Amino acid sequence: MKTMFDLTGKVAIVTGGNGGIGLGVARGLASAGAAVVVAGRNATKSAAAVRNLAALGATAGQIEVDVRDETSVRSMVASAVARHGRLDILVNNAGINVRKPPHEIALSEWTQVIETNLTSAYLCSHAAYPHMKAAGGGKIVNIGSMMSIFGTSYTPAYAASKGGIVQFTKACATAWARDNIQVNAVLPGWIDTDLTTRARQEVAGLHDRVLARTPAGRWGTPDDHAGIAVFLCSRASDFVTGTAIPVDGGYSVQG
Ligand code: NDP
């Protein structure tokens, strides 16, 4: 069983791996033996994340990237492959939110959210695919949300991007199954990160509403995503593709 989840010798890129859920995912992959490239905009945050991963005994490094920018993404993938000689795992995690109702969100804000959360997954997957195909396989994990399933009045672009990410996951899963590349989505519930610290400031009563609706009775943590990431990036999930798995303490099945 141990070897089924062993990622020794594998190379992973985690976008937004320098904090929050991305760092929880990176810590899981690193603990299972993968070399992890943390890809974000904030170099200081990334350096701290690399130190955190190195303390687990992992090979870790950082690359600065803007996931909205095709040239930057291509350079990120090329640098990771040049550094480590291969690319086995891509986690499309980078994301933002703009909380405004549909009649108030500006086009520039809509575009910023869609490009960061959805177009980025296309750009990164498109750039990673040839390396995974040439290596005989790979694993892609896209981070969705409860907004992949539900709507709220104040997240039109975010919900559109996270619904889109699930459908993009299915498209890539079917297209690349014969290349032995599995593509799955993870749908986090309400997780305590910088993103939701801001949400709690902007949305009155959110903290208590989440606690009341989550059967597990708590907010999630970034490390709650370590196990699912190892599963979806290891041999254990070789016949699992195109899925969208909630990691939400039961939030999405609460009646
Ligand atoms: P954080 O704000 O902590 O992390 C967001 C990450 O995205 C940061 O590491 C940031 O890196 C990176 N990022 C943002 N824009 C860019 C960009 N243009 N280029 C490169 N990196 C970028 O939030 P979370 O950890 O909470 O969110 C991570 C993912 O999980 C997102 O996709 C989010 O939608 C999703 N999610 C979060 C939930 C939650 O409850 N927290 C629930 C459901 C989904 P940097 O700081 O270097 O810019």
Q: Over 90: is that where the pLDDT of 2 sits?
A: no
Q: Is 158 a catalytic residue?
A: yes
**Mean pLDDT, rounded, of the chain:** 97
Query: 49: exposed, middle or buried (C-beta count within 10 Å: 0-12, 13-18, 19+)?
Result: buried
Q: Which domains does the chain have, with CATH numbers?
A: 11-247 (3.40.50.720)
In the block, tokens 């990622």 appear at 7
In the reported structure, the alpha carbon of residue 1 is separated from the centroid of ligand 1 by a whole-number distance in angstroms of: 32
Question: Residues near ligand 1 with C-beta < 6 Å?
Answer: 15-16, 18-22, 40-42, 45, 65-68, 93-96, 116-117, 143, 145, 188, 190-191, 193-196
CA distance readout (Å), 20 to 44, 45, 174, 211: 15, 11, 30, 19
The amino acid that residue 231 corresponds to is F
**What separation in Å is there between the alpha carbon of 171 and the centre of ligand 1?**
23
Q: Whose C-alpha lies nearest to ligand 1, atom 44?
A: 145
147 by Cβ neighbours in 10 Å (0-12 / 13-18 / 19+) ranks as: buried
Q: How many Å apart are CA 68 and CA 115, to the nearest integer?
A: 6
Q: Which of 74, 78, 45 is nearest to 62 (CA)?
A: 45
pLDDT at 255 over 90: no
Asked whether 142 and 184 are in contact (CB, 8 A), the reply is: yes
Do 107 and 150 touch, CB atoms closer than 8 A?
no
Rounded to the nearest angstrom, the distance between the alpha carbon of 90 and the centre of ligand 1 is 15
The string of pLDDT tens digits covering residues 17-65 is 999 999 999 999 999 999 999 999 999 999 999 999 999 999 999 999 9
Q: At what angle do helices 20-31 and 43-54 cross, to 10 degrees?
A: 30
pLDDT by residue (tens digit) across 200-223? 998 899 999 999 999 999 999 999
Amino acid at 228: I
Give me the percent of the chain exceeding a pLDDT of 90: 97
Distance between alpha carbon 40 and the CA centroid of its chain, in Å? Answer: 12
Smallest CA separation from ligand 1 atom 4, residue: 20
CA-proximal residue: ligand 1, atom 23 (nearest): 195
Residue 1 has pLDDT above 80, yes or no: no
Position 147, amino acid: M
**What is the pLDDT, as a whole number, of residue 51?**
98
Which of helix, strand or coil describes residue 162?
helix
List, for residues 65-93, the tens digit of each pLDDT value: 999 999 999 999 999 999 999 999 999 99
Work out the pLDDT band at 234, boundaries 50, 70, 90: very high
Alpha carbon of 116 to ligand 1 centroid (Å)? 9
What CA–CA distance (Å, rounded) separates 89 from 80?
Answer: 11
Which atom of ligand 1 sits closest to the CA of residue 69?
18
Exactly one of 122, 129, 154, 158 is catalytic; name it.
158
pLDDT for residue 96: 98
